[in-house]
Amino acid sequence: MAHEKQHTVAGEVEVQGIGVHSGEAATLTIRPASEASGIVFVRTDIENAPAIPARLDNVTRTELGIGLGADGVEVLTVEHVLAALAAAGVDNARLELHGPEVPILDGSFSPYLEALGRAGRTAQSLPAEIIDVGEALTVGADPEASYVVLPRDGLLISATIEFDHGAIGRQHGAFRIDQDGFARDLAPARTFGFQADVEALRARGLARGASLENTVVLGEDGVMNPDLRFPDEFLRHKVGDIVGDLALMGARLNGHIVANRPSHSGNVRLARAIRERHDRGLRAHTIDVRDIMKHLPHRYPMLLVDRVVEFDPGKRIVGLKNVTINEPFFSGHFPDHPIMPGVLIVEAMGQVGGLLLMDAVENPEDKVVYFMSLNNVKWRRPVVPGDQIRFELTMTGLRRSVCKMRGKGTVDGQLVAEAEMTARIVDR
């Protein structure tokens, strides 16, 4: 099975501006990052600041924007750059922020999408994680906001917003989310706010950098800016925010989202519901020995994997080996004190890793995995009849047909063996 590859930016790019809420000057530098690292923020204006992955677990606030934090350090208003990264198909990047808040620029997503265009994009070796919506999911965010997610190839967002203001009222639209569609239909749409709220917001430390240069402002008599970029610019910006908030799942998404009165807090609840259901499905992904035999060339007595219980394609796999007294090697390997040979423990670990690799190539039935090297192999305790070994393999690199993996085996939660493996995928 073929996978889309992960991508990072080809070079670094810098943007400067002020934060819409803090009003403080900031510089954001987007740099390439290694595969499987995801999108990570680093505050360069704070000494020894921790890396802050752009993931749901790190969300600190959702009022009028998304804040992320780690160890007491925050980055604010991240949704616009995250939406641009997602639309551009960038999976891994290091975002160095000198200042407390990502610059608002002109209030739209376009400056970030244009910056990413200048930086370029380059493919990496590992497959991108893609969440496919398999069946309908309904998420209620609050008494008014609600979401339904439906299966679909690609990402489509249908949204309805409603505000008690003559310039907005009720607006509805559906938008296909790919790089061209996002750039054309959503990226130019600017953030918006109400003049009547400004004084109260600024008293709470919000909207201090907002102006007609970066925000569509709605006064009592209508829009205070010279003009709108779209008649439904408000709706389009809300849909762009959904794209940025969903990027906190750390994966691409295939599905149709139907959003009614979306908000940042609602979008985060939606993202958590999609991510949690996907992860439950991965944990419940069980492959028994009959399916294993379709992918591995080994047969008795050398087939040493009984079941696969967790599977994240192209990234991670967990397999089980039940060790019984009837294993043929026990008749000659310390028969009076049966211990599973260490080399066979590593062989079983390699077979589990082979199953992970078979999903990362086209036409796996025509391929076979040959292991080229083992490093840092350690056996920690004996494995005896009655034990069940849980092997967990994580892919750490895939370049052309050569793969690197890190594996460990445990029994009842105790480490029994670990190794770093390099393998080559070849034609049968």
**CATH assignment at residue 361:** 3.10.129.10
Q: Are residues 267 and 301 in the same domain?
A: no
- The widest CA-to-CA distance across the chain, in whole angstroms, is 92
Number of domains observed in the structure of the chain: 2
Instruction: Report angle CA 369, 373, 378 to the nearest 5 degrees.
Output: 115
Rounded to 10 deg, the angle between the 79-87 and 233-246 helix axes is 80
Residues 6+ positions from 272 with CB-CB distance below 8 Å: 56
Q: Are residues 176 and 308 in the same domain?
A: no
CATH classification at residue 193: 3.30.1700.10
Given 3, 165, 298, 333, the catalytic residue: 333
Q: Are residues 214 and 319 in the same domain?
A: no
Question: 349: which 2 tokens?
Answer: 């670990």
Given 7, 80, 264, 278, the catalytic residue: 264
Q: Are residues 224 and 351 in the same domain?
A: no
Q: What is the pLDDT along the chain (428 residues), one digit of tens a residue?
A: 346 899 999 999 999 999 999 999 999 999 999 998 999 999 999 999 999 999 999 999 999 999 999 999 999 999 999 999 999 999 999 999 999 999 999 999 999 999 999 999 999 988 899 999 989 999 986 667 899 999 999 999 999 999 999 999 999 999 999 999 999 999 999 999 999 999 999 999 899 999 999 999 999 989 999 999 999 999 999 999 999 999 999 999 999 999 999 999 999 999 999 999 988 877 666 666 666 666 677 777 788 998 888 888 778 889 999 999 989 988 887 778 899 999 999 999 998 988 887 665 555 566 677 888 999 999 999 999 999 999 999 988 887 778 899 999 999 889 999 999 998 877 76
End-to-end CA distance of the chain: 17
Tell me the pTM. 0.73
Residue that is last in its domain, among 238, 254, 283: 283
Q: Are residues 261 and 136 in the same domain?
A: yes
Residue 341: give the domain boundaries. 287-427
Q: Are residues 226 and 307 in the same domain?
A: no
Q: Are residues 154 and 9 in the same domain?
A: yes
Strands 192-194 and 169-176: unpaired
Q: Are residues 31 and 154 in the same domain?
A: yes
Residue that is last in its domain, among 283, 318, 350: 283
Place of tokens 């004190």: 337
Q: Are residues 200 and 330 in the same domain?
A: no
3-state secondary structure of 332: coil
CA–CA distance, 297 with 303 (Å, rounded to integer): 8
333 belongs to the catalytic site:
yes
Q: Are residues 342 and 239 in the same domain?
A: no
Q: Where are the alpha helices (DSSP H) in 231-375?
A: 233-246, 264-283, 289-295, 342-358
Which amino acid is present at 13? V
CA–CA distance, 75 with 54 (Å, rounded to integer): 10
Place of tokens 């036409």: 363
